Structure 1
Amino acid sequence: MPTSPTSAQFPSGARNPAEPRRSAPDRGRTLLGPALALVHTGLAPTRSALTSALDVTRATAGAVTGELEALGLITVDSRPAGGGRGRPSHRLAIDPAGPVVVAAQIHADGLSVALAGLGGRLETPRYLPLPDATDPVRMLRAVAEAGAALARASTRRCLGMALALPNPVTEPDGTALAALHFAWPSGTPVADLFDQEVRRADFGPRARTPVPAAVANDANLAALAEHRHGAGRGARHLLLVTSGHRGVGGALVIDGHLHTGSSGLALEVGHLTVDPLGRPCPCGNRGCLNSETDPEALFIAAERIPDPAGPLLGQARLLARSAATDRVAERAVEHVVDRLGLGLAGLVNILNPDRIVLSGLHLDLLAAAPERLAAVVADRCLWGRSGRVPIVPAQVDHAGLVGAAELAWEPYLQDPQLVPTGRLAEGRPT
């Protein structure tokens, strides 16, 4: 069963006054998760920064970092970091030889997999074509086997695998609804099927056994990645809107929590109507953001045909970037940007975010026409130009994969003591 990213808020580590006071060792163990999360997100690059963030003594911070180092998760540089006031402090970093998880993503036209350490660090992703048969079992089997191959080839211990899907995933049961890109039955038990295929795959002697598996919607995971490691850091109410290879997705992060609604299906922003007379959408409606602002919509607006042998998203991004020198491309960008602005304005009116992050093709549309997009949103927003919401480009490369890694790492960020320790026994970690 998937680990739900809705629980992904880093605890502060502060003691509840109503709880009985615990001993120093107990107190230190409860701080392991918050401490690892602070190092993981770059908010505690030194032991003094960690001491301040956790509001603990230097001795407690030293004990906590020592245990995280013993688990092979972080490094503590004995050479102090200077440059500030007061006593120099030890540098903290993610251990580059520490354990990894496998992050995977299904796109409309292919698969991608990568190993990922802590700190939002991906190894070079591997891209694969879709299998000949795209039914759920064979698709998920292909993903699990590709991830297992990466784990077997690595010298680092694999602790889990997570998958970003291009369709809604219910919580907590993990079923896929409205699988618009593939002929999957609505209600496919994707979490259970993926767990079965991961258990069947050979992840090698250095992997945790069984390898934990999790699934979630790709836009939700991209938002989590941007909030922790990219353009969304520091935002209290972060709205992410993205267009990948096909369609449009969105997600909302509120105070560190992904807002996914009562059953994981909130923020399906792609099905917000922006042109009632527009193009048909796979959902059965017309003029959805999904069908008016994705790569295919940009090519239609430019009256051009993409190369069927090449990736659609990459070609659309190049078309958007050519708007500075190509008048046809410029008009097409303006057409799509106007509809994107209408959709963003409606979302701002409903959600009142303090920051909007655009990724995928929308990042290039923003770069091509930043003033036009901002003006359309402001003109249609209840708060008008005086309350303009910052619209910024995404910063995390391969955000869906990075978000999938966050999902796979989540149990260990909550409780680092779940990380297996000890020597390899009979070819398996203990």
Structure 2
Amino acid sequence: MTPTRTTRLERGRGALGPALELVHTGRAPTRAVLTAELGVTRATAGAVAAELEALGLITVDSRPGVAAGTQGRPSHRLSIDPDGPVVLAAQVHADGFRAALVGLGGRIVATEPGALTVEADPAQVLTEVVNAGVRLLRETGRRCLGAGLAVPSAVAEPEGTALNPLHLAWPPGAPVRDIFTRCLAGAGVVGPSGDEPVTGHAANDINLVALAEHRHGAGRGARDLLCVATGHRGVGGALVLDGRLHTGSSGLAMEVGHLTVDPGGRPCHCGGRGCLDVETDPLAFLEAAGREPGPETGMLRRALELLRTGYATDPAVRDAAHLLVDRLGLGLAGLVNILNPDRILLGGLHSALLEVDAERLHAVMGERSLWGRGGSVPVLACALEHSSLVGAAELAWQPVLDDPMAALSG
């Protein structure tokens, strides 16, 4: 490294993380944009980009093609290195798991599902998760920098315990982060130094959906993003403020599923009645449509299929959809009154309800929110496939984004 480049890099060392995050989230496709976003000189931005390239994280194209009809010399193009390192990401759900290797930019490099009965001991499924990840690492030959796990439960911090895995057999308070880390160590998944095991991270799956969508999907560019989604059962919510996931003082913020939308409604496992969690999930829709719910692990798929095939032709399905839209709109209006988001994302069954009757949803939100402003908040469907996996990867990538040089030196 030349003295001039060393001096520039020393001045820009603090910009390495912000620069990588800009490329990672697609907000700095060129060196010119990077220079403007960082507020540094072109020379310093060039030194920062060169160092990120030397670390194997990005590529710099110094001779990009010139588009027809444009003038001047095009700026260097910045891209994620397609052969760069990855993190191991996994999601556990009621009927098994999915493991993946995820690169920067939220790009899934390889993935493997696993169907099994999730036992009361979290180590059972997490051992299988890590084994699947090890197979993927072996097959791809990629360097692993960390690991993240999405679970269908609130995860308390700083303990990393799954407090209420309601649709899994796990006991309340299971130390999933520590178990995950031990499984990684037992399987020999090492970090950047090549000596120490990678660190395991864990968080609630809907929180991670919101984080992934904000950085790489339908929530990109939002300042205050609210995400509400269904799984096989129940409803979860998450909030991203100023680009950071809002988890509260101990990781338990945004349990929106327990917002009451029908005081005389169904009993909820929280002890209340008529919560969003039991009034707008796949079970509520199937029963309102007069259908037999069947096994829990297939409810979301059956609800989506019924809505797709029956909304236009079956009055019972249409009435059930309208009932859930009204309850969902009431819940979202209350959240708009409290949070004042600039964008709302819906996932699972809720995104399908948005597709069939967005006008009704906006009307209910407008009627029930303060000053009618709720009806004007943009409401979009989540855009990413496997968004919980991408969000789990974001947990593992965060130390690298915070300080790339320190993270990669181990």
Output the TM-score relative to the length of structure 2: 0.92
Deviation, structure 1 residue 52:
1.2
Listed one character per residue, the Cα deviations across residues 360-388 of structure 1 (whole Å, up to 9, x for unaligned) are 11110100110111111111101215862
Q: Please tell me the residue identity of whatever aligns with 1:30.
A: G
Matched, 1:397 2:392: no
Q: Equivalents in 2 of 1:276, 1:340: separation in Å?
A: 14
Deviation, structure 1 residue 397:
1.5
Partner residue of 2:89 out of 92, 95, 103? 103
- State the match for 1:347 in structure 2: 335
- State the match for 2:306 in structure 1: 319
Partner residue of 1:360 out of 348, 353, 358? 348
Matched, 1:300 2:287: yes
Q: List aligned pairs for 1:125-274, cutoff 5 A.
A: 125-131=111-117, 133-203=119-189, 208=194, 209-274=196-261
Partner residue of 2:80 out of 79, 94, 113? 94
Deviation, structure 1 residue 350:
1.0
Listed one character per residue, the Cα deviations across residues 322-362 of structure 1 (whole Å, up to 9, x for unaligned) are 31333322111111111111111111111111111111111
Q: Equivalents in 2 of 1:53, 1:196: separation in Å?
A: 40
Deviation, structure 1 residue 230:
1.2
- State the match for 1:29 in structure 2: 13
- State the match for 1:77 in structure 2: 61
CA contact (8 A) 1:259 1:266 kept: yes
Q: Please tell me the residue identity of whatever aligns with 1:119.
A: G
CA contact (8 A) 2:86 2:143 kept: yes
CA contact (8 A) 2:99 2:132 kept: yes
CA contact (8 A) 2:146 2:396 kept: yes
Deviation, structure 1 residue 146:
2.2
Partner residue of 1:66 out of 33, 41, 50? 50
CA contact (8 A) 1:103 1:115 kept: yes
CA contact (8 A) 1:101 1:409 kept: yes
Deviation, structure 1 residue 310:
7.2
Residues 132/363 of structure 1: CA separation in 2 closer, same or farther (3 Å cut): closer
Matched, 1:113 2:99: yes
Q: Equivalents in 1 of 2:332, 2:401: separation in Å?
A: 33
Q: Please tell me the residue identity of whatever aligns with 1:217.
A: N
SS at match of 1:311: helix
Can you give the 5+ residue segments of structure 1 that lack an aligned partner in the other structure?
1-21, 422-429
CA contact (8 A) 2:226 2:343 kept: yes
Between the two proteins, the alignment pairs up a number of residues equal to 401
Deviation, structure 1 residue 205:
10
CA contact (8 A) 1:148 1:204 kept: no
Single out whichever of 88-97 and 304-313 deviates more from structure 2: 304-313
Q: Equivalents in 1 of 2:144, 2:191: separation in Å?
A: 9
Q: Equivalents in 1 of 2:273, 2:374: separation in Å?
A: 32
Residues 272/134 of structure 1: CA separation in 2 closer, same or farther (3 Å cut): same
Q: Equivalents in 1 of 2:264, 2:125: separation in Å?
A: 35
Partner residue of 2:271 out of 241, 265, 284? 284
Which structure carries more helix by proportion?
2
CA contact (8 A) 2:165 2:171 kept: yes
CA contact (8 A) 1:238 1:353 kept: yes
- Cα RMSD (Å) of the superposition? 2.2
SS at match of 2:229: strand
- State the match for 1:41 in structure 2: 25
Listed one character per residue, the Cα deviations across residues 279-327 of structure 1 (whole Å, up to 9, x for unaligned) are 2222232211111111111111111124549732222212222313333
Output the TM-score relative to the length of structure 1: 0.88
Q: Equivalents in 1 of 2:251, 2:339: separation in Å?
A: 17
- State the match for 1:54 in structure 2: 38
CA contact (8 A) 2:237 2:254 kept: yes
CA contact (8 A) 2:236 2:256 kept: yes
Can you give the 5+ residue segments of structure 2 that lack an aligned partner in the other structure?
1-5
Q: Please tell me the residue identity of whatever aligns with 1:263.
A: S
